[in-house]
Chains A and B, each alone.
Chain A
Amino acid sequence: MWRRILSRLSTSLMVAWGSVTFAFLALHTLPGRIEDILAGDLDYPGLREAIATEWGLNRSPAEQYLDFLLRIASGDFGTSYVLRQPVGGVLGSQVMPTVQLALAAGLLALVLAVLAASATAGRSRSARALAALLELLFASTPVFWLGILLLMAFSFSLRWFPVSGAQGWQALVLPSVALALPTAGLLAQVLRDSMEKTLEQPFVVTIRSRGLGEWPLRLRHVLRHAALPAVTLGGWLIGGLLGGAVITEKVFGRPGLGTVTLNAVLSHDVPVVLAVVLMAAFIHVAASTLLDILYVLVDPRLKAQ
């Protein structure tokens, strides 16, 4: 088992290193000088020189690469030339609202999906058809359109929730619902599918023959099996939530990483975008590593191998 976990950890480190390398290569293979790319549309005296010193552009590519790796590893993502501040500081102040949103949406999606799947898997045809229809609908609805519809209904017409901002819990409700529903739709599809596969397993008959009712059976036994394939989706889910948060923040005018990143993209603030993307990649890698290790711990069959 430890062998497996260690190999998973080393793979993750390799992937993290690969993503940094990928970013470095992308930066260097682009047409044009690095100074121009990093400067974007900006031009003020001393900018290009500042970039050249910070990135060590006069040194050999190998040295630059090593330097880049070391800087990222120590958490230094460089300087935003647009905002004239260290990237870490720019992002640091915006992290909390995004994390709040992603967490709230993630939890909501998980709860909805588990409830929907447990309640309908293998049950009557009409219940399943209804659940399947809703899941398809939500999974196919773009986050931003859902956000627009929610805004129309609950902010402009009913005036229950604020139109924008991040003040108080009320401001979190609509964005997290908009972000959660499509995710919940997809997750519920996967969960119900694997619950139905599990319900066909012979051991379910054995468990029923011990006198367990449907809900104890589902929550104590079946859900655990069904969660296994869903766990592999965990990494993708977290990535999706981070990406979706960017869009949701734009729809609801919420402050956060999304707004900063979008502004950075439009003003060609490469260091900021690079930092956000790399951070997201690291979070993704860390989360899926954790989930994979969890998977090994949950499934004794993997421990043995």
Chain B
Amino acid sequence: MSEATPSEAATLLSDPSGRTGPAAPGAAIRRVIAVLWQWKGFLAAGAFLLLLAMVLATPHLLTAYDPLEGDALAGLRAPNATHPFGTDRLGRDVLARTLYGARYSLSIGFGATAISVGFGVLLGIAGGQKSRLLDETICRLFDVISSFPGVLMALLVVTFLGQGMLNVAIAVGVAGIPKFGRVVRAQTQLARNADYVTQAYIYGRSRAAVFFHHLLPNVLLAIPVIATVYVGTTILAVSSLSFLGLGPQPPTPEWGVMLAESRDVLRIAWWPGVFPGAALTLTVIAFTVIGNALQRRFERRG
């Protein structure tokens, strides 16, 4: 590629199409539409998460029904005008339960992710340092933890600690530590051996300055992105455990619990088994899409 002169390059940068002069309004609108279309997945996922945030904050504005109180005489009504998602066996409104359920599934999911990220980052950065012994120890620890399949590890934790939301969050969180830890360790090692770190030593900067100015920021930069990708999977794992009856107990309107309850009435009613599952799946998809989009952007900027 021939080298552009500074002024040429500046024009090229300000207008990527290389054209100069004001663009026609039609072209501008078309360009906006093209950009929107290119980001359609990201935008849809973002819109869904915004909606979810609203549901989390103010579920009572969106439904008049109580998630726990039902009219036993109006059990298993199919979706209709008063109950858009129908009612369950005990006559509780499925929409209300699905909306309130977001709180449980998301808070356990976020809690578990926080545990995974916190310990993963600490251990990963420690493992990425110069000490071979420390690195080996941490790697073997990750191997041990990840040798227990997530769900079974959670079963063990719940057997010891008992059922409940906190214990499920701990179980899923601990099982996720190696995932983050390994990524952070790899990033740390990459950054430690990067040319820009060598260059900083050539400037005459101290070990501490290199660590805090170059290494740490570059390693931590990726964390929120990776965490977003994993929140989705974590929510999935958490709801699986609830479905097995290890997490929150009925009548808690948690999505996994609701689906477990729906299993008994599946022969006669489809709605209690469809709506919470759809909400769960859409939430997972939304986090994954956003996370992946952020990751792609992140990787492209180097």
* A adjacent to B, CB under 8 Å: yes
Is B205 in the interface zone, CB < 8 Å from A? no
Q: Which B residues touch A22, using CB under 8 A? A: 144
A-contacting 9-mer, from B27-35, B54-62, B112-120, B148-156: B148-156
Instruction: Show the binding face of B for A, using Cβ within 8 Å.
Output: 140-141, 143-144, 146-153, 155-156, 158-161, 232, 236, 239-240, 243-246, 256, 259-260, 262-263, 266-267, 270, 273-274, 277, 280-281, 284-285, 288-289
Is A109 in the interface zone, CB < 8 Å from B? no
Residue of B nearest to A257 (CB): B152
Is A26 in the interface zone, CB < 8 Å from B? yes
B-contacting 9-mer, from A85-93, A115-123, A235-243: A235-243
Are B273's CB and A152's CB within 8 A?
yes
Q: How far is the CA of A18 from the CA of B159 in the complex (A)?
A: 20
Residue of A nearest to B179 (CB): A236
Q: Which A residues touch B277, using CB under 8 A? A: 141-142, 145, 148-149
Q: How many residues of A contact B (CB 8 A)?
A: 53
Q: List 30 A-B contacts (CB under 8 A).
A: A14-B140, A15-B143, A15-B144, A18-B143, A18-B147, A19-B144, A19-B147, A19-B148, A27-B160, A30-B160, A140-B236, A140-B284, A140-B285, A141-B284, A142-B239, A149-B273, A149-B277, A152-B266, A152-B273, A156-B266, A239-B152, A242-B149, A246-B152, A247-B243, A264-B159, A265-B155, A277-B155, A281-B147, A284-B149, A285-B147
Secondary structure dominating the interface of A: helix
Are B148's CB and A141's CB within 8 A?
no
Q: How far is the CB of B183 from chain A (nearest CB, A)?
A: 13
Q: How far is the CA of A65 from the CA of B161 in the complex (A)?
A: 22
Q: Which B residues touch A194, using CB under 8 A? A: none
Given contacts A26-B160, A265-B158, contact A148 B266 (CB under 8 A): yes
Q: Which B residues touch A156, using CB under 8 A? A: 266-267
Instruction: Show the binding face of A for B, using Cβ within 8 Å.
Output: 11, 14-16, 18-19, 22-23, 26-27, 30, 37, 136-137, 139-145, 148-149, 151-152, 156, 235-236, 239-240, 242-244, 246-247, 250-251, 261-262, 264-266, 268-270, 273-274, 276-277, 280-281, 284-285
